[in-house]
Amino acid sequence: MMSYQPDSGQSTGGTEIHIKGENFPNLSDVKDFNARFKPQSTEMAEKIVPVQWLNDTMVKIVVPGGWSEGDKMNLQLTWNGVDYDENGFTFTVYNIASVKPRSGPADGSGGDIIIKGAGFRPEKEALCRLNHVVYKRSKQSWNEIRCPVLPAAGGPAYFGNVDFAVSPNGGADWHIFGGGFQYYQQPVVMDISPKNGPAHGIGIVNFYGDYFRSDYKLADL
C-alpha cells in the first residue's frame, strides 16, 4: 500500500476508498482479503469489510456505516485474514449532528451557518454548497464547520428556499440538509415600546418595523 483517497468519510458509510500500491493479488475470498477499521480513541468496535480488487496497483473499499461517533481509524489490509499491514494509514469517520441557522437575510449580512458534529479534520478544507454554488468554509475544527451565507442570487429582497450541503472531505461526499436554506429580506426594527419596565420581569416589549415574517418551514423566531 502506498496511498489512499479520500482520507475521511461519513459515519453512515458508503464512501469509496481507492488504495494504490504494487503487486496486489487478485483474491476473491473475503475471509482472507479484507480491510479493518479500528477506532483510535473511542470504544466503538472495529469493523471488517471486503476489498474489491481492481488491478495489480489499485483496490477499492466501501466504508462501513453504523459509527455512533466521529473518530480517527487505523485502516489496514490483509491478504491472508490474519496479518494486517503496518502502513499506519489513518481514515477519519465524521458525524454531522446539527446545523444552525437554517435561514438568513438575502443580502448575506447574517452570521455563518454552523455545522456541529465530530471528525472534521482541521487541517483539511471542507466545502460548502449553497444554491448550487460551491465555496470554501470560513473556519473548521474537529467539532465544527462554519459556512458563510452567500448573498442570494435574486437580490436583497429575495424570499425563497435554496439547497444547502456540506462536504467535510473536500467534495468526495456531500451531506445534503433536507429543507435546504431559507432566504428572507432583512427585517428592520424602527422602534420598541415600552422602553422601560419593572426589574422583576413582568410585561411585554413590542417591536415595530418592517419585513417581519415567519411564514416558512425553517422559521425559528
Q: What CATH number is given to the structural domain containing 76?
A: 2.60.40.10
Once rounded to an integer, what is the mean pLDDT over residues 7-24?
92
Q: How confident is the model at residue 151, as a pLDDT?
A: 97
Grid-cell match 454531522, residue found: 96
Please report whether residue 192 resides in a domain: no
Once rounded to an integer, what is the mean pLDDT over residues 149-154?
96
Please report whether residue 151 resides in a domain: yes
Q: How confident is the model at residue 85, as a pLDDT?
A: 87
User: Is 1's pLDDT higher than 80?
Assistant: no
Once rounded to an integer, what is the mean pLDDT over residues 94-120?
95
pLDDT in tens, 170-212: 999 999 999 999 999 999 999 999 999 888 888 899 999 999 9
Please report whether residue 30 resides in a domain: yes
Please report whether residue 200 resides in a domain: no
| Helix %, strand %, coil % of the chain (to 5) | 0, 45, 55
- 121: domain range? 101-184
- Report d(CA 94, CA 77) in Å as an integer: 21
More confident residue, 204 or 1: 204
Instruction: Report the 10 Å Cβ neighbour count for 148.
Output: 16
Please report whether residue 220 resides in a domain: no
Q: How confident is the model at residue 81, as a pLDDT?
A: 87
Indicate the pLDDT class of residue 27, thresholds 50, 70 and 90.
confident
50 and 66 fall within a common domain: yes
DSSP symbol at 25: -
Please report whether residue 202 resides in a domain: no
Instruction: Give the three-state DSSP class for 159.
Output: coil
106 and 176 fall within a common domain: yes
Sheet holding 103-105, edge to edge: 103-105, 181-184, 160-162
Name the grid cell of 105. 437575510
The bridge status of strand 89-100 relative to strand 103-105 is unpaired
129 and 56 fall within a common domain: no
Q: What is the number of domains present in the chain?
A: 2
Q: Taking all residues of the chain, what is their mean pLDDT, rounded to a whole number?
A: 93
DSSP symbol at 108: S
Please report whether residue 79 resides in a domain: yes
Please enumerate, as own/partner, the contacts of 146-150 that have beta carbons within 8 Å and a separation of 24 or more.
Answer: 146/112, 146/113, 146/114, 146/115, 147/112, 147/113, 147/115, 148/108, 148/112, 148/113, 149/104, 149/105, 149/108, 149/110, 149/111, 149/112, 149/113, 149/181, 150/108
38 and 80 fall within a common domain: yes
58 and 129 fall within a common domain: no
Please report whether residue 127 resides in a domain: yes
36 and 119 fall within a common domain: no
Single-letter amino acid code for the residue at 132: H
pLDDT in tens, 54-100: 999 999 999 999 998 899 999 999 988 889 988 889 999 999 999 99
128 and 68 fall within a common domain: no
List Cα–Cα distances, 66 to 83, 138, 144, 172, in angstroms.
25, 29, 21, 19
List Cα–Cα distances, 108 to 51, 69, 190, 200, 221, in angstroms.
46, 33, 21, 38, 19
